[in-house]
């Protein structure tokens, strides 16, 4: 039994170590941001090496002898019960990470890292040539590694649960099967009806030439209006937009602007802005801890999609901002009405590429990937059969067939890098967003009037109170149940989509 002074010394030393790891991570994130927002080309190689060195240091600290000693001591019942809530969660989080790293033999992990970096470049070539057979042997090895890792880490229920847990703690195959069944039942027939409706939006409104500088200026105004704090962030240009939270006082948004399509820049900005609002509003008391991040990938995505789709693509939003946008593009948008614009930015149609899919069809793309990943991990599906099963599922859910593997099974980078279990987070984000929106409507009765008047403080504050401030202090499920009073239910998303798209497409 250790004295109380040993206890508090260990707590302080543990927190100090976590803080040190966070500082390394912040440095790496800043370098990553720099690489993606215009770092000089000739410095890239050296910079990548620096990132490698620093990441190696954080790995060494995370799995160090001191960390093991602190975790062993602080997780023992005598000590654990004396900890405050934040420290308890910090210990749990650090232990989870420690176990994950330590259970996989380092030499196998090293081989895996080498394999995935090769596999990513082979995937690129296979996609360019639209030839799955090039990628197949690499993907087979990546899948075998996933199964081997699950063996080291252990699993409960379905082996895929272990992979899901890395992105969405607590979510299981059992739960996802039920959620996707709920989506499939409503959305597959709804997409058919939308596709065959003679009532179509006029998308020429949003697909003209639009000056990117003006688009950027407008995006900046919108970000400010929804509550993004430019004193705790900045907006830069990039090729693949992202948001990066260094700490709540420095959360950076990046975006790109399509010269020929107004939608990409504006909604890209609002999407990343949603991620940024989350990171900017995590409670200050979590700074320097391992809880100062989003609760999960899915909860993070719920924030970006809530602001992008439920706010940004609502009719009320454009009742407020269309006039401002027309003032920026007076010739291009002359005479455009709110109804025309609202319909044009909510065009829904069956399409082949996930990243270009609309709000209505998006989850069907995720469902296909989920079913394939689950089958690969359980062994029910062979890698060699993927192109064929992919195309079959596209026909079944979306009623269209890819012409080649580049626009089919080879379209996403995720599998080449071993990111299995990640895709469901996107759909979970949509599901969480719809359930949160439903709860918010009940608690803010004239919710739509606030949007219509461009007053987002109440909406943002509600999200901060219910979601943002907790960071990783609560699990995704705890956040959702506390905010909405019930477990995740697909009905909120299907109700929202039915209502919106039946009205838009007059079906
Ligand atoms: Zn996102």
Residue tagged 């082996």 (tokens): 159
State the distance from the centre of ligand 1 to the C-alpha of 80, rounded, in angstroms: 36
State the distance from the centre of ligand 1 to the C-alpha of 272, rounded, in angstroms: 6
Taking CB atoms within 8 Å and a gap of at least 24, the contacts of 422-425 are 422/167, 422/297, 423/366, 423/369, 423/370, 423/373, 424/164, 424/167, 424/168, 424/171, 424/176, 424/298, 424/366, 424/370, 425/167, 425/168, 425/296, 425/297, 425/298, 425/301
Q: pLDDT by residue (tens digit) across 365-400?
A: 999 999 999 999 999 999 999 999 999 999 999 999
Which has more confidence, 407 or 106? 407
290 near 415, Cβ under 8 Å? no
Residue tagged 């060699």 (tokens): 384
Say whether 272 is catalytic.
yes
Q: How far apart, in whole angstroms, are the C-alpha atoms of residue 433 and residue 307? A: 9
Which of 67-71, 107-111, 395-399 is least confident?
Answer: 107-111
State the distance from the centre of ligand 1 to the C-alpha of 275, rounded, in angstroms: 7
**What confidence tier does 133 reach under pLDDT thresholds 50, 70, 90?**
very high
State the distance from the centre of ligand 1 to the C-alpha of 407, rounded, in angstroms: 22
State the distance from the centre of ligand 1 to the C-alpha of 334, rounded, in angstroms: 32
Taking CB atoms within 8 Å and a gap of at least 24, the contacts of 215-219 are 215/257, 215/262, 215/265, 215/266, 216/255, 216/257, 216/265, 217/328, 218/266, 218/324, 218/325, 218/328, 219/255, 219/257, 219/265, 219/266, 219/268, 219/269
4 pLDDT more than 90: no
CATH of 203-347+434-472, picked from 3.30.70.990, 3.40.50.360, 1.10.1370.30, 3.40.1190.20, is: 1.10.1370.30
18 near 292, Cβ under 8 Å? no
Q: pLDDT by residue (tens digit) across 25-62?
A: 999 999 999 999 989 999 988 998 998 899 889 999 99
276 pLDDT more than 80: yes
Q: Where are the domains of the chain?
A: 203-347+434-472
State the distance from the centre of ligand 1 to the C-alpha of 425, rounded, in angstroms: 10
Which of 4-18, 61-75, 139-153, 392-406 is least confident?
Answer: 4-18
241 pLDDT more than 90: yes
Q: pLDDT by residue (tens digit) across 349-374?
A: 999 999 999 999 999 999 999 999 99
pLDDT, residue 48, reads 87
Neighbouring CB atoms inside 10 A of 139's CB total 23
pLDDT, residue 109, reads 87
Nearest to 451 by CA among 311, 310, 324: 311
**What confidence tier does 2 reach under pLDDT thresholds 50, 70, 90?**
low
Nearest to 57 by CA among 89, 26, 84, 30: 26
Q: How far apart, in whole angstroms, are the C-alpha atoms of residue 319 and residue 50? A: 49
415 near 132, Cβ under 8 Å? no
Provide DSSP, 271-287: HHHHHHHHHHTS-GGGT
221 pLDDT more than 70: yes
**φ, ψ (nearest 5 deg) of residue 367:** -60, -40
Cα within 13 Å of Cα(482), Cβ side: 14
Nearest to 372 by CA among 429, 412, 403: 412
Nearest to 135 by CA among 465, 384, 315, 332: 384
State the distance from the centre of ligand 1 to the C-alpha of 271, rounded, in angstroms: 6
439 near 480, Cβ under 8 Å? no
Q: How far apart, in whole angstroms, are the C-alpha atoms of residue 419 and residue 145? A: 12
State the distance from the centre of ligand 1 to the C-alpha of 126, rounded, in angstroms: 26
Which of 103-112, 136-145, 154-163, 454-463 is least confident?
Answer: 103-112
Bin 242: left if φ > 0, else alpha if -120 < ψ < 50, else beta.
beta
State the distance from the centre of ligand 1 to the C-alpha of 142, rounded, in angstroms: 25
Q: How far apart, in whole angstroms, are the C-alpha atoms of residue 264 and residue 226? A: 18
pLDDT, residue 3, reads 65
pLDDT, residue 117, reads 85
Question: What's the rounded mean pLDDT across residues 4-16?
Answer: 91
State the distance from the centre of ligand 1 to the C-alpha of 190, rounded, in angstroms: 25
Provide DSSP, 321-370: HHHHHHHHSTTTTTT--HHHHHHHTT-----S-GGG--TTTHHHHHHHHH
Tell me which DSSP letter residue 247 carries: E
Residues of the chain with pLDDT > 70, as a percent, come to: 99
Strand arrangement, sheet containing 235-237: 235-237, 250-255, 243-247
State the distance from the centre of ligand 1 to the C-alpha of 76, rounded, in angstroms: 38
**φ, ψ (nearest 5 deg) of residue 486:** -155, 165
**What confidence tier does 113 reach under pLDDT thresholds 50, 70, 90?**
confident
Helix (H, G, I), strand (E, B) or coil at 259: coil
**What confidence tier does 110 reach under pLDDT thresholds 50, 70, 90?**
confident
Q: How far apart, in whole angstroms, are the C-alpha atoms of residue 178 and residue 362? A: 18
Q: How far apart, in whole angstroms, are the C-alpha atoms of residue 227 and residue 230? A: 9
Cross-strand partners of 250: 247
Average pLDDT along the chain = 96
Q: How far apart, in whole angstroms, are the C-alpha atoms of residue 221 and residue 281? A: 19
Neighbouring CB atoms inside 10 A of 199's CB total 10
191 pLDDT more than 80: yes
Helix (H, G, I), strand (E, B) or coil at 463: helix
pLDDT, residue 5, reads 76
Bin 48: left if φ > 0, else alpha if -120 < ψ < 50, else beta.
alpha
Tokens of 348: 């829904």
% helix / strand / coil in the chain, to the nearest 5? 70, 5, 25
Q: How far apart, in whole angstroms, are the C-alpha atoms of residue 471 and residue 293? A: 5
State the distance from the centre of ligand 1 to the C-alpha of 276, rounded, in angstroms: 10
State the distance from the centre of ligand 1 to the C-alpha of 159, rounded, in angstroms: 27
| β-bridge pairing 250-255 and 235-237 | parallel
State the distance from the centre of ligand 1 to the C-alpha of 431, rounded, in angstroms: 14
Question: Of 93, 264, 272, 437, which is the active-site residue?
Answer: 272
State the distance from the centre of ligand 1 to the C-alpha of 297, rounded, in angstroms: 9
- First-last CA distance in the chain: 71
Q: Which residues of 298-313 are buried (b: 16+ CB within 10 A; e: fewer)?
A: bbbbbbbbbbbbbbbb
């Amino acid at each position: 039994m250790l004295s109380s002074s040993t206890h508090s010394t260990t707590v302080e030393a543990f927190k100090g170590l976590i803080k040190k790891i966070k500082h390394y991570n912040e440095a790496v994130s800043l370098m990553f941001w720099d690489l993606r927002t215009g770092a000089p080309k000739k410095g890239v190689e050296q910079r990548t090496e620096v990132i490698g060195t620093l990441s190696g240091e954080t790995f060494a600290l995370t799995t160090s002898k001191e960390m093991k000693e602190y975790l062993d001591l602080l997780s023992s019942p005598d000590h654990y019960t004396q900890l405050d809530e934040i420290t308890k969660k910090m210990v749990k989080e650090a232990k989870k990470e420690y176990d994950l790293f330590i259970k996989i033999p380092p030499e196998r992990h090293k081989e895996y890292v080498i394999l995935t970096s090769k596999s990513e470049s082979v995937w690129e070539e296979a996609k360019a040539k639209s030839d799955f057979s090039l990628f197949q042997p690499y993907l087979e090895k990546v899948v075998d590694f996933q199964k081997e890792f699950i063996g080291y880490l252990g699993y409960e229920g379905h082996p895929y649960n272990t992979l899901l847990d890395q992105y969405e703690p607590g979510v299981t195959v059992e739960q996802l099967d039920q959620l996707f069944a709920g989506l499939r039942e409503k959305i597959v027939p709804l997409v058919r009806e939308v596709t065959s409706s003679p009532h179509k939006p006029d998308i020429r409104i949003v697909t003209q030439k639009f000056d990117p500088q003006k688009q950027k200026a407008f995006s900046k105004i919108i970000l400010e209006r929804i509550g993004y704090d430019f004193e705790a962030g900045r907006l830069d240009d990039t090729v693949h937009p992202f948001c990066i939270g260094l700490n709540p006082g420095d959360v950076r948004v990046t975006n790109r602007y399509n010269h020929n399509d107004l939608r990409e820049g504006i909604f890209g900005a609002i999407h990343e802005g949603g991620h940024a609002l989350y990171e900017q509003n995590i409670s200050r008391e979590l700074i320097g801890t391992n809880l100062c991040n989003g609760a999960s990938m899915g909860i993070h995505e719920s924030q970006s999609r809530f602001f992008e789709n439920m706010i940004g693509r609502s009719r009320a939003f454009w009742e407020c901002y269309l006039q401002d946008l027309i003032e920026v593009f007076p010739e291009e948008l002359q005479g455009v009405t709110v109804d025309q614009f609202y319909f044009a930015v909510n065009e829904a149609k069956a399409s082949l590429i996930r990243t270009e899919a609309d709000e209505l069809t998006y989850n069907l793309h995720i469902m296909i990937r989920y079913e394939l990943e689950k089958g690969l991990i359980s062994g029910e599906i062979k890698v060699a059969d993927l192109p064929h099963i992919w195309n079959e599922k596209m026909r079944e859910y979306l009623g269209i067939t890819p012409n080649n593997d580049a626009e089919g099974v080879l379209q996403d980078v995720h599998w080449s890098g071993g990111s299995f279990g990640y895709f469901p987070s996107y759909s979970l984000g949509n599901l969480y967003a719809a359930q949160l929106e439903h709860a918010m409507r009940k608690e803010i009765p004239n919710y739509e009037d606030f949007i219509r008047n461009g007053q987002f403080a109440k909406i943002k504050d509600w999200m901060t109170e219910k979601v943002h401030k907790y960071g990783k202090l609560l699990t995704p499920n705890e956040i959702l149940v506390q905010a909405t009073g019930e477990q995740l239910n697909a009905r909120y998303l299907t109700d929202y989509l039915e209502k919106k798209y039946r009205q838009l497409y007059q079906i």
